[in-house]
Structure 1
Amino acid sequence: MPRPTPSPRPRRLGVAAALAVALTLVGGCGTTSSSGNLKVYQQEQFEPGETFSRMFDASVSQTCEAARRALLSQGYIVTVLRPDAINGSKNFQPGGEAHVQITFNIVCTDDGNQGKLSSAYVSATQDRYTLKKSPNSASVGVSAIGSLSIPFASTDDSLVKVASETIPAGVFYDRFFALMASHLKELQMDAAVD
Structure 2
Amino acid sequence: MKRCALLLLPLLLAACGGPGSYAEREDFQSDPRHRRDFPTAAAPLCDAARRVLLGDGYVVLPGRDALTFSGAKEFRVDDKGHAQLRLHLACSEARGGATLFVTATEEHFDVKTTRQSTSVGVPLVAPISFSSSTEGDNQVKTRGETVAARDFYERFYRAVQRELGGRE
Q: Could you say which TM-score interval applies, normalised by the shorter chain?
A: 0.7 to 0.9
Q: 1:178 to 1:27 in 2, by over 3 A?
A: same
Higher Cα radius of gyration:
1
For 2:99, give the aligned amino acid. Answer: S
**What is the TM-score normalised by the length of structure 1?**
0.65
Change (3 A) 1:27 1:50: farther
Q: CA deviation at 1:44?
A: 6.0
> Displacement of 1:122 after TM fit?
0.3
Structure 2: how far apart are the matches of 1:111 and 1:130?
A: 42
What residue is the counterpart of 2:79 in the other structure? Answer: 96
Q: How many residues align?
A: 158
- Structure 1 residue ranges (4+ consecutive) displaced by more than 3 angstroms after TM superposition: 17-20, 38-50, 146-152
Cα–Cα, structure 1 residues 54 and 29, in superposed 2: closer, same or farther, change >3 Å? farther
Corresponding position of 2:160: 180
CA distance in 1, matches of 2:38, 2:15: 46
Aligned to 1:156: 136
Query: 1 or 2 for the larger relative contact order (CA 8 Å, sep ≥6)?
Result: 2
Gap runs ≥5 in structure 1? 1-9, 138-145, 189-194
Q: State the TM-score, normalizing by the size of structure 2.
A: 0.74
What is the CA deviation profile of residues 61-84 of structure 1, one whole-angstrom value per residue up to 9, with x for unaligned ones? 011111111111111111224321
Counterparts of 1:69 and 1:110, CA distance in 2? 19
Asked if 1:24 corresponds to 2:6, the answer is: no
Q: Which segments of 5 or more consecutive residues in structure 2 lack a partner in the other structure?
A: 118-127
Helix, strand or coil: the match of 1:89? strand
Are residue 106 (structure 1) and residue 74 (structure 2) matched?
no
Structure 1 CA distance for aligned equivalents of residues 81 and 45 of structure 2 = 34
Among residues 36, 54, 61, which one is paired with 2:43 in the alignment?
A: 61
| Percent pairwise identity | 28
Amino acid paired to 1:180: V
What's the C-alpha RMSD, in Å, of the aligned pairs? Answer: 3.5
Cα distance in 2 for residues equivalent to 1:122 and 1:89: 13
Cα gap change, 1:120 to 1:126, in 2 (>3 Å):
same
Tell me, in whole angstroms, the C-alpha distance in 2 between the residues paired with 1:177 and 1:169: 13
1:76 corresponds, among 36, 39, 58, to: 58
Find out whether 1:171 has 2:151 as its counterpart.
yes
Which one is further off, 39-48 or 156-165?
39-48
Match of 2:98 among 118, 127, 141: 118
Q: Is the 8 Å Cα contact of residues 109 and 119 (structure 1) preserved in structure 2?
A: yes
Report 1:35-46 matches (<5 A).
40=22
